[in-house]
Amino acid sequence: MAELPFDVTDARLAAAAWSRIAEPGDTDAGALLAHLGPVEALGWLVHAAAGSGQAAVGGGRAGRPGVERAVGRWAPRLEGLDIRRELDRLAALGGRLVVRGDEEWPGGLDDLGHRAPVALWVRGAASLGLLARAVALVGARASTSYGEHVAVQAAMGLGERGVSVVSGGAYGIDAAAHRGALAVEAPTVAILAGGVDRLYPTGNTALLEQVLASGAVVAEVPPGSVPMRSRFLERNRLIAAGSRACVVVEAAWRSGALSTAAHAAALLRPVGAVPGPVTSMASAGCHRLLRETDAVCVTDAAEILELVGPIGAALAPEPEVARGLLDGLDPVCARVLDALPARGAAPAPNVVRASGLSPGEVRSALGRLELAGRVERNGGAWRRSRPAPRHPTLS
C-alpha cells in the first residue's frame, strides 16, 4: 500500500477522506473516529491496510474488535483515493465542507453517536445553523394530489413562522415540501443520498437548484457518490437527527418515510403523522404510525409547531365555528331554552313540564335568559329571541 497523495495530517482532509472510505452509518468507523479523530484513524488505517500496522500503531487503541474486521471493508477504498479531487469538484460548484467543530455544524447530528456523519458536503446560500429551527416534512414518492397539497400548505405555514423545512429532495411529498417553503421565500434544506454534484432525481434538478439558491443541499457522501438504496436508508437518519421534529405527510404501509419517523422516535424527536382517507393506500403508513407508535395526529402547520414548541407556548388555535343555540349557557338555562318551542310561545307551566325542572328553576332561568336577550316575554308566554345578526369582528 502506497502513501496517500494528500496531506493526511490535515483534519479536514482526513474527515473528508473518511466520508469516502466508510459507508454512511458505519458504526465501526464512528467508534474509531470517536477514539482517534480522523487524522490518527486514517494513519492507523493506512498502516493496517498495508498489513503491518495493526499491532504497531493502533490495533489496541482502536478498542473494538469490529474495527479490525472493518479494515477489510475500508482498505479497498484507499486504492486511488485522493479526496482533494472531490473537494475541488465541490469548490467548483461553490460548495463547502462542514465538519464537527465548524460553527454551522448541526449539533443535532451528534445525537447519532457512532452513527453520526464525519463530514457534510454542502452547497447553498444558507448556513446549516437554520437546522436548529427546522422540521422534517417527509413522505412517499408515490404521493397523491391530496398529500402534495397538504405538504405545500404545511411547509408554507412553517416557513411563514420562521421554521425551516428539511426533506429529502425526492419526488412526491419531499418535492411538495420544498416547493411550499420556496413559495413563501423560506430557506429549505434537502439532504441527499448521493453526492451534491448530482442533483438527484433528475426531474427535480430545477427544484433543487432553487433550494440551494436560498437554502442548502447536503450530503454525507462526497461528490461522485451514487445514491444506493442503503445510502437512502442511512440518509433518513440525517433528516431525522438534523431537525427538531419529523412529520410524515403521506406514506404507504411500507415506506422509507416510516424509517425516517422511526429514526426520529429513536432520537426522542417528536413525530407527527398527517391522516388521510382510509381508502387511500398513500395514507396507510401514516395511519399505521398513529395506531402503532406515539406519533401525534397533525393536520396543519400550527399543530406541527405544537410538536416542537415549549408546552403551552404556541397552542394551535381552535378553528372558528358558528355559535349554537345553547352555547355559553349554564345547564339549567340551556334546558329551559331547549324546552321552549322552536316557533311560537309557551306559558311557564308548559315550560316546567317540558323541561322537567321545578317552577322556581324555570322562573329564574327565564329571567336570566331574558336579561341575556335569549328569550322574550309576550304577555303570559315566553318565546325564543331571534338570533342577532353576527357582526364581523373588528379586531
CA distance 97 to 117: 12
Q: Does 386 bind its own copies (CB under 8 A)?
A: no
Q: How many residues bind its own copies (CB under 8 A)?
A: 63
Q: Does 252 bind its own copies (CB under 8 A)?
A: yes
CA distance 168 to 176: 11
- Who contacts 385 (Cβ-Cβ below 8 Å, separation ≥6)? 373, 374, 375, 376
CB-nearer residue toward its own copies: 162 or 360 = 360
CB-nearer residue toward its own copies: 131 or 176 = 176
Q: Would you say 183 and 152 are in contact if contact means Cβ atoms under 8 Å apart?
A: yes
Strands 271-273 and 245-248: parallel
- Shortest gap between Cβ of 77 and its own copies (angstroms)? 6
- Shortest gap between Cβ of 104 and its own copies (angstroms)? 27
Q: Does 253 bind its own copies (CB under 8 A)?
A: yes
Residue 201 three-state SS: coil
Per-residue string for binding with its own copies, 315-344, x by CB under 8 A? Answer: ---xx-x--xxx-------xx--xx-----
Return the residue of 279, 311, 379, 395 that touches its own copies, per CB under 8 A. 279
Q: Does 171 bind its own copies (CB under 8 A)?
A: no
- Shortest gap between Cβ of 212 and its own copies (angstroms)? 27
CA distance 203 to 23: 26
Q: Does 94 bind its own copies (CB under 8 A)?
A: no
Q: What is the identity of the amino acid at 47?
A: H
Return the residue of 269, 287, 374, 384 that touches its own copies, per CB under 8 A. 287
Q: What is the identity of the amino acid at 145?
A: S
- Shortest gap between Cβ of 243 and its own copies (angstroms)? 21
Q: Does 164 bind its own copies (CB under 8 A)?
A: no
Q: Does 138 bind its own copies (CB under 8 A)?
A: no
Return the residue of 114, 149, 161, 368 that touches its own copies, per CB under 8 A. 149
- Shortest gap between Cβ of 338 and its own copies (angstroms)? 4
- Shortest gap between Cβ of 200 and its own copies (angstroms)? 14
Q: Please confirm whether the linkage preceding 201 is cis (ω < 30° from 0).
A: yes
CB-nearer residue toward its own copies: 126 or 305 = 305
CA distance 341 to 389: 21
Q: Does 367 bind its own copies (CB under 8 A)?
A: no
What is the separation of C-alpha 254 from the centre of its chain, rounded to a whole number of angstroms? Answer: 18
CB-nearer residue toward its own copies: 216 or 303 = 303
Span 226-245, contacts to its own copies by CB under 8 A:
226, 228-230
- How long, in residues, is the chain? 395
The CA angle 8-14-17, to the nearest 5 degrees, is 115
Extended strands (E) in the chain: 96-99, 119-123, 134-138, 164-167, 188-191, 216-219, 245-248, 271-273, 296-297, 346-347, 375-378, 381-384
Find the distance separating the first CA and the last CA of the chain, reported in whole Å: 76
CB-nearer residue toward its own copies: 152 or 190 = 152
Buried b (16+ CB within 10 A) or exposed e, 34-67: ebbebbbbbbbbbbbbeeebbeebbbeebeeeeb
CA distance 65 to 71: 11
Q: Does 103 bind its own copies (CB under 8 A)?
A: no
Q: Does 347 bind its own copies (CB under 8 A)?
A: no
CB-nearer residue toward its own copies: 206 or 297 = 297
* The one segment of 76-84, 178-186, 188-196, 198-206 that binds its own copies by CB under 8 A: 76-84
Residue 225 three-state SS: coil
Return the residue of 36, 150, 175, 219 that touches its own copies, per CB under 8 A. 150
Q: Which residues bind its own copies (CB under 8 A)?
A: 22-23, 26, 69-77, 79, 146, 149-150, 226, 228-230, 252-254, 274-279, 281, 283-284, 286-287, 290-291, 296-300, 303, 318-319, 321, 324-326, 334-335, 338-339, 349, 352-361
